[in-house]
Structure 1
Amino acid sequence: TKSYSVFKSLRSEGLTDLITRGINAYHKTKDTNIGETLFFYPLIGVMNKLAFELSSNSEKDE
């Protein structure tokens, strides 16, 4: 239940920023093409933020 609450609070924060950061990561050189669809950049970012928040919360609970 706590994990779902954390997910709900993170799921829509900074999605545009996550897309921009994902695109910029692949455009370091002119010859690099984007390897994923734009759908995956915010998904990956939210998953990373969620993992970080859950691990931070579990350390606090100990």
Structure 2
Amino acid sequence: MEPVRSVMFSLNAAGRLLWNALPAEEAALVALLQQTYDLDLETAQRDVRDLLSGLAQRGLARQE
């Protein structure tokens, strides 16, 4: 739920996996995604950064 606009968001399976692992370091999230979905490093890094960025833009998580 986005607190400012009271909008509900949903995540796909990979997004839920990462959400449930928070708070965690980006490297740990990348490793989790790689292990779970057999992704190459670059794809996993991009996916994690995209998710974290989207969550931060909506006020649902902080990127540090």
TM-score tier (shorter): 0.3 to 0.5
Task: Tell me the TM-score normalized by structure 1.
Answer: 0.35
Flag the structure with more relative contact order, 1 or 2, with Cα contacts below 8 A and sequence separation at least 6: 1
Larger-gyration structure (1/2): 1
